[in-house]
Structure 1
Amino acid sequence: MSRKLQTSFCGIQLENPCILSSAPPTQNKEGIAKALRLGWAGAVTKTCTCDDLITGDAANRFAVLRHSDRSIAGFENIEGLTHYPISYWEQAVRELKQEFPNKVIIASIMADDRCEKWQELALRMEAAGADAIELNLSCPHFRIESAMGAEIGKNEDQSANITAWVKKVVNIPIIVKLTPNVNNIQNIARAVIQAGAAALSTINTVQALMGVDIDTFEPLPIVDGHSAFGGYSGSAVKPIGLRCVAQLAQVAKVPIHGIGGISKWQDIIEYMAVGACCVQIGTAVMLNGYQIITTILQGLEEYVERKGIADLNAIIGASLSKITVRERLNMAWGAQSAVAVPEKCTNCAKCFIVCSESGKAAIQFIDKRITVDQELCDGCSLCTHVCPHGVLALLGVIG
């Protein structure tokens, strides 16, 4: 694999920017090993916890949101943490590092409000050979009544305290995994960095309720007639993940692992452009298997060659200077819709309907030919998005 795909965080070298996130694909040593052999640069273990906090999982713990073509847009889970004791993960990390010395193994840990438990977990994972510790302060559904996971991650002081506890006893880098389910993710980031976090990862899943069976009124996923708010992931959350990474990159001078909705190489480029030094991928692997790494790495290789850039590090943060607040945008910039490929028009009239009812009524059909009245069109772009055949395009000029 090309050196152009190499990146790093906290002095830890990655052969490419792709790490398996803490999720079912990293639930055991065998799965992680299989993924590393296929080309993943590293993995974050399924979150380890104190043996007395391990719980079982419901039989039906996943639900999906589908596009009309049946492909999956969103994915929800109500799964818990690891089912294995900490001793299992000590051995697993030790053996993985022995077999894959050049791969990166990050130990994800979570405890409750006991300082000694956070420290014990971190110390044992460090002693086993983990390259870094990821603090799971962001799971939106595990033991929330016990004030764990995102219930901690929403609180600046609690997040900082736990980070400081772990920082006090380990020498390897501490990554804090942040939740998007907060009012201001930048404030949480500042707090944990001041407390000793060497890097950040975001986002964990978004708290959600996937749906309701309209015949039985049972919420989804159904577990014996009931359900719970779960963690939402998949391609539908990528805009939230990009926003959070960009917001962190604007204020944090530490490495950021981008997470959320990544399934193809283009997604990785986007995350790096808004400030991520690498990415973690979970749901796409659950839905397609570890082997997606092959096409992802091929796409990244072809991209850097086509762009003629030295390596992927050259694009980290490339878009940040172009992100501002709405009021600072150029309101004088002129853009209007135009008929770009008229031969593809099927006269479905979707553009006409939405423009007349939600736009400026600039679209007309004359002799079954679509036209755009440039005097009325204000360039909102709605018609270009609803057209199923790409007939319309937005053309911009500086006003």
Structure 2
Amino acid sequence: MADLSIEFCGIKSINPFWLASAPPTDKAYNVVRAFEAGWGGVVWKTLGEDPAAVNVSSRYSAHYGKNREVLGFNNIELITDRSLEINLQEITQVKKDWPDRVIIVSLMLPCEERLWADIMPKVEATGADGIELNFGCPHGMPERGMGAAVGQVPEYVEMVTRWCKQNTKLPVIVKLTPNITDVRAPARAAKAGGADAVSLINTINSITHLDLDQMVAFPIVGGASTHGGYCGSAVKPIALNMVAEIARDPQTAGLPISGIGGIGNWRDAAEFIALGSGCVQVCTAAMLHGFRIVEEMKDGLSRWMDQKGYKSISEFSGKAVPNTTDWKYLNMNYQVIAQINQDDCIKCGRCYVACEDTSHQSINQLIDAVTGARTYEVNKEECVGCNLCEITCPVQGCITMVPQDTGKPYMNWTQDPRNPRAEKVAETV
């Protein structure tokens, strides 16, 4: 049976599933219930200076799919609204009662060295396993010079990280904001400041939807609203890309990554780990479905690892990174063509409409003159292998993309004679 235990920047955990810093980890009661359910660790909801932050009501909104499935989740909640003393006391007790579980303490303070120097020994005294610097919160706190206001300025990231490393022996994890042009810049700064790891992504600036009668966005606070932090399954593609960017950047390669963003099942977790994450953090899925989801996550990941022959997490961590590259290095001579399995086809015509109206007109609609029955066939000469038909088909596996033997060798864009700057690009790569 696969071993799910991990070691992340020197911290041992019974499994890679941690709860992210958020409402599910805001008090001892929640954290204990999470540990009882089987979570390997938690990142305690972000602590700050006293007096504690004050939250508004209401705080959450959502972007829905069909049947009110929550695709994206938005919040305008701030960091802990409980005193620093109470949080530290609870962390101390929970760690004492659960020594085999990981507790990371998330912190957010103004950019004053004395404040960071003062809080570090207090956190160490709790017995916590590590510290996460919240440089990602996109609402409420940036207006006060904290959260994303720090995370968007690499110089600040490096400066505060260095302050913390100089005042603690605990591993320091820097939580990065996605609300930035290039996430590699703050990741490099965190490493330069001595960070032991980075975690990402934090939430994305968002407005989910409006009440068109009141003409105000949700969540509504006394007839007004504001942008909040977007999370949930909808942000997973963005998070995966940013994790991969850091994992394959020569300047940050090897820097441990805690993956966050839309993780709701074992497959999501496996994808983050394959792209370089040493552990994963979960928030929205737990808020929507409860702590027990970790049981299915652990079971599913373990079964998949057994099937693939992976005995430990480390055996496939980062395994997809070498296969992730820049567009210009993709094989221009590689070609796939769509193929429709007529036995599985339900004749809905969605592939035809999509291809005919918005793509390359490479699917033919054949109508029987007698019965009126419809058949859809791919015009191989016109198909460019864009995948749109496969994506729109409601029957999984009905349309497949079949690789073609072109007889041509590998050639990327820097080598392609159709590239007017081919020679120049090739020289500078």
Deviation at 1:70, TM superposition (A): 1.9
Match of 2:330 in 1: 329
State the alpha-carbon separation in 2 of the partners of residues 385 and 217 from structure 1: 35
Match of 1:109 in 2: 107
What letter is aligned with 1:63? S
Deviation at 1:349, TM superposition (A): 2.1
State the alpha-carbon separation in 2 of the partners of residues 42 and 3 from structure 1: 19
What letter is aligned with 2:278? C
Match of 2:43 in 1: 44
User: Secondary structure of the equivalent of 1:96?
Assistant: helix
Match of 1:375 in 2: 381
State the alpha-carbon separation in 2 of the partners of residues 287 and 315 from structure 1: 29
**Contact 1:49–1:121 (CA under 8 A) maintained in structure 2:** no
Match of 2:281 in 1: 280
What letter is aligned with 1:71? E
Match of 1:152 in 2: 150
Deviation at 1:117, TM superposition (A): 1.6
Match of 1:77 in 2: 75
Deviation at 1:56, TM superposition (A): 2.2
Deviation at 1:162, TM superposition (A): 0.8
Matches within 5 A, 1:1-399: 4-52=3-51, 54-251=52-249, 252=252, 253-340=254-341, 342-366=342-366, 367=368, 368-390=374-396, 391-399=398-406
Deviation at 1:347, TM superposition (A): 3.0
State the alpha-carbon separation in 1 of the partners of residues 404 and 119 from structure 2: 58
State the alpha-carbon separation in 2 of the partners of residues 214 and 97 from structure 1: 48
What letter is aligned with 1:386? T
* Further displaced range: 146-155 or 342-351: 342-351
What letter is aligned with 1:41? G
**Contact 2:2–2:310 (CA under 8 A) maintained in structure 1:** no
**Contact 1:332–1:398 (CA under 8 A) maintained in structure 2:** no
Aligned length: 396
**Contact 1:109–1:122 (CA under 8 A) maintained in structure 2:** no
What letter is aligned with 1:388? P
**Contact 1:74–1:232 (CA under 8 A) maintained in structure 2:** yes
Consecutive unaligned residues of structure 1, counting only runs of 5 or more, are none
What letter is aligned with 1:279? V
State the alpha-carbon separation in 1 of the partners of residues 177 and 7 from structure 2: 23
CA RMSD of aligned residues (A): 1.3
Deviation at 1:335, TM superposition (A): 0.6
Larger Rg: 2
State the alpha-carbon separation in 1 of the partners of residues 297 and 346 from structure 2: 35
State the alpha-carbon separation in 2 of the partners of residues 183 and 280 from structure 1: 23
Consecutive unaligned residues of structure 2, counting only runs of 5 or more, are 369-373, 407-429
User: Secondary structure of the equivalent of 2:404?
Assistant: strand
Give CA deviations for 1:121-142 in whole Å, capped at 9, x if unaligned: 2221111111101000110113
* Further displaced range: 139-148 or 258-267: 139-148
Give CA deviations for 1:168-222 in whole Å, capped at 9, x if unaligned: 1111111000011111211111111111111110000111111222333211222
**Contact 1:47–1:109 (CA under 8 A) maintained in structure 2:** yes
Deviation at 1:395, TM superposition (A): 1.4
User: Secondary structure of the equivalent of 1:333?
Assistant: coil
Deviation at 1:3, TM superposition (A): 6.3
State the alpha-carbon separation in 2 of the partners of residues 337 and 128 from structure 1: 59
What letter is aligned with 1:220? F
Deviation at 1:255, TM superposition (A): 1.1
* Further displaced range: 203-212 or 259-268: 203-212
What letter is aligned with 2:336? A
State the alpha-carbon separation in 2 of the partners of residues 142 and 397 from structure 1: 53
State the alpha-carbon separation in 2 of the partners of residues 84 and 115 from structure 1: 23
TM-score (norm 2): 0.90
**Contact 1:6–1:312 (CA under 8 A) maintained in structure 2:** yes
Give CA deviations for 1:293-341 in whole Å, capped at 9, x if unaligned: 111111111111111122111001101111111121112111111112x
State the alpha-carbon separation in 2 of the partners of residues 68 and 398 from structure 1: 40
What letter is aligned with 1:223? V
State the alpha-carbon separation in 1 of the partners of residues 5 and 404 from structure 2: 39
Change (3 A) 1:3 1:324: closer
User: Secondary structure of the equivalent of 1:64?
Assistant: strand
Deviation at 1:232, TM superposition (A): 0.4
State the alpha-carbon separation in 2 of the partners of residues 349 and 119 from structure 1: 64
User: Secondary structure of the equivalent of 2:357?
Assistant: helix
TM-score (norm 1): 0.96
What letter is aligned with 1:144? P
What letter is aligned with 2:211? D
State the alpha-carbon separation in 2 of the partners of residues 287 and 317 from structure 1: 29
Percent of aligned pairs sharing the same letter:
36
State the alpha-carbon separation in 2 of the partners of residues 73 and 354 from structure 1: 24
What letter is aligned with 2:223? G
**Contact 2:162–2:194 (CA under 8 A) maintained in structure 1:** yes
* Further displaced range: 285-294 or 331-340: 331-340
State the alpha-carbon separation in 2 of the partners of residues 331 and 215 from structure 1: 52
User: Secondary structure of the equivalent of 1:357?
Assistant: helix
What letter is aligned with 1:258? G
State the alpha-carbon separation in 1 of the partners of residues 305 and 259 from structure 2: 19
Deviation at 1:151, TM superposition (A): 0.9
Deviation at 1:346, TM superposition (A): 3.5
